[in-house]
Amino acid sequence: MLTSLQANILKFHGRNFAHHLFFRFIDGQSEPAATWIKEFASTRLTTALKQLEDSKLRRSDQNFDGGPIFTLSLAATGYDFLNKNDQKPDSITFQNRMRNNSDLLLDSPDDWDKEFTGQIDLLIIVADDNNATASDEASQIISQTAPFAVLLKNQRGNVLKTEVGVGIEHFGYADGVSQPMYLADEINDQEQPRIWDDKTNLDRLLVKEDKIDTNEFYGSYLVFRKLNQNVLAFKDAEGDNREALPSTKPDTALLPRVKDSSGNDNIELPGAMIVGRFENGTPVTMRSNEFQNDLPPTANLNPHRPTNDFDYSDDIGELALKCPYHAHIRLMNPRNGDPKADPSDLRTHRITRRGMPYDDNFDNENVRIPDEHILSITDDMLKKQKGINVGLLFMCYQNDIANAFEILQGFWAQGDIAPNADLKGIDSIISQASQDSRVLPEQWGVQGKVNPVKFDHFVTMKGGEYFFTPSKNFLMNL
Ligand code: HEM
């Protein structure tokens, strides 16, 4: 199976730089397209097996470089163009395309960036630790595909990491921490006492394409969304610059203050209660400040690797007073923190995130984070960008888009449907709806006065599509 499954599905490719190449096929050119894709699949495409073997080698030798990663995904229209209608993945949601599911997602496709408003057939991802190598490989692919495909967008992305190696997104929060796990070494490497187990069945991720003799071939559905992040507005509204404000400058914070467990003001706490984690990744349901030196050893928090071993079992009530029901990570993965839902059912809606930050400010040296700094990002560098042309290339894999991504985005983040409709409130990070009923307690973990929260729309959808990442076997047989 691993010799035919593409890389980046079971495990993040982990490269620093990536080019996401979006194409539309040219009418009448399906034969040269199929010929090129077959050749590409046999010579360049990275398999899951190669990725796993390379990551083993890297663990034993830190200098080992597995080289570039290449993946290829098709939109429903791509299958039609290649005359593979009979083998098109059968999900109606996938076949409908993202733009036609906009009633549920609350998207406005007419306002998306123009490169994403038309038909997208093909997505090729090229990633490498070296920026120049990734760019060269991308350029080669663009020129080789020109006879049969129009390049709609070459979307660059790059990781952002703090000095201690924690991956972050543009608002400055640790990201990519909590993920379903499919591989024995990752599963067995989880922290103890393992309050929360990320072990997940492969059938949440993989879709069987074919069985030939004893060989089984698998692919996976890929959701892509380009999400712009208005960093400066978010930071102002979050209130974490309140202390630095000169007395003449008005406080622009939209989030109310929240006192920590000792009754002290903590300017980082309201933001943490909106996301569900502090910027360094510490889960806010576990504690009311991000400093971990007064923790008992059992808490097992490591600043270099934010913990994922927690649940919400002692944070349940009419209002969750430590990590609110409307916190982004609690909505996206309620764990066992929804008193009205069956935790095993909630687990069926998990997605495997493979996103990457982007920074489109190529021509603006005053704003752009230079490549040499992407592995040692500070808060000041993020704020300097002001949130113009930066954000997240959100990507996730799953075995069923309707039952995974669309439940999370369409219902849990911005709808009124379970889990826990009467308690939760919309997601302050990704909801495209508005709502005024959310509150934060005046003190973390303490019942009493609550204050209203009106904090949303710092993320804007720029465009996206639903893809399927087929097996190498499928591509070689075009
Ligand atoms: C710009 C947009 C977004 C930002 C800034 C953002 C930020 C974050 C952060 C900081 C975390 C916590 C760290 C972690 O556990 O990895 C997180 C977790 C998560 N996010 Fe997002 N996110 C965004 C978009 C989305 C979207 C569109 C979805 C799905 C519809 C999503 C689903 C999740 C999930 C499933 C988790 C893990 C929750 C858990 O298992 O505890 N995110 N996100």
* Atom number in ligand 1 closest to CA 391: 1
The dihedral built from the CA positions of residue 99, 103, 104 and 110, taken in this order, carries a sign that is positive
Residue with CA closest to ligand 1 atom 7: 175
Mean residue pLDDT of the chain comes to: 91
Residue with CA closest to ligand 1 atom 38: 329
Beta carbons of 229 and 428 less than 8 angstroms apart: no
User: 369: CA distance to ligand 1 center in Å?
Assistant: 22
pLDDT at 301 over 80: no
* Atom number in ligand 1 closest to CA 276: 12
User: 175: CA distance to ligand 1 center in Å?
Assistant: 7
* Atom number in ligand 1 closest to CA 413: 30
User: 275: CA distance to ligand 1 center in Å?
Assistant: 8
Residue with CA closest to ligand 1 atom 24: 430
pLDDT at 239 over 90: no
**pLDDT value of residue 39:** 98
- Mean pLDDT in residue range 70-89: 97
The Cα-based distances of 99 to 73, 105, 398, 461, 467 in angstroms read: 18, 9, 19, 12, 13
92-112 pLDDT, tens digit each:
999 999 999 999 999 999 999
**pLDDT value of residue 430:** 96
- The amino acid present at 195, given as its one-letter code, is I
**pLDDT value of residue 364:** 80
* Atom number in ligand 1 closest to CA 396: 29
- Mean pLDDT in residue range 53-76: 93
Nearest residue to 45 via CA among 101, 6, 78, 96 = 6
d(CA 73, CA 6): 10
pLDDT category at 424 given cuts 50, 70, 90 is low
- The amino acid present at 265, given as its one-letter code, is D
Residue with CA closest to ligand 1 atom 41: 329
* Atom number in ligand 1 closest to CA 350: 35
User: 309: CA distance to ligand 1 center in Å?
Assistant: 17
pLDDT at 2 over 70: yes
User: 246: CA distance to ligand 1 center in Å?
Assistant: 33
- Mean pLDDT in residue range 364-389: 82
User: 328: CA distance to ligand 1 center in Å?
Assistant: 7
Among the ranges given (35-39, 203-207, 222-226, 337-341), the one the predictor scored with the smallest mean pLDDT: 337-341
How many distinct helices (H) and strands (E) make up the chain? 15, 12
Nearest residue to 463 via CA among 112, 120, 118, 229 = 112
pLDDT at 80 over 90: yes
- Between these two residues, 150 and 62, which has the higher pLDDT value? 150
User: 412: CA distance to ligand 1 center in Å?
Assistant: 13
- Mean pLDDT in residue range 177-203: 93
pLDDT at 420 over 60: no
Residue with CA closest to ligand 1 atom 18: 329
pLDDT at 291 over 90: no
User: 49: CA distance to ligand 1 center in Å?
Assistant: 27
User: 276: CA distance to ligand 1 center in Å?
Assistant: 10
pLDDT category at 297 given cuts 50, 70, 90 is low
* Atom number in ligand 1 closest to CA 332: 35
Beta carbons of 4 and 472 less than 8 angstroms apart: yes
pLDDT at 382 over 60: yes
d(CA 38, CA 192): 46
| Residues in contact with ligand 1 (CB, 6 Å cut-off) | 169, 171, 173-178, 227, 229, 275, 277, 328-329, 332-333, 351, 391-392, 394, 405, 408-409, 429-430, 459
d(CA 390, CA 230): 8
Residue environment code for 241-275, b if the CB has 16+ CB neighbours within 10 A, otherwise e: bbeeeeeeeeeebbbbbbbbeeeeebbbbbbbbbb
pLDDT at 298 over 80: no
* Atom number in ligand 1 closest to CA 176: 16
* Atom number in ligand 1 closest to CA 168: 10
User: 429: CA distance to ligand 1 center in Å?
Assistant: 9
**Site to substitute for ligand 1 among 168, 353, 408, 460, most atoms within 8 A of C-beta:** 353
Does pTM top 0.75 for this prediction?
yes
The dihedral built from the CA positions of residue 455, 456, 457 and 463, taken in this order, carries a sign that is positive
User: 329: CA distance to ligand 1 center in Å?
Assistant: 6
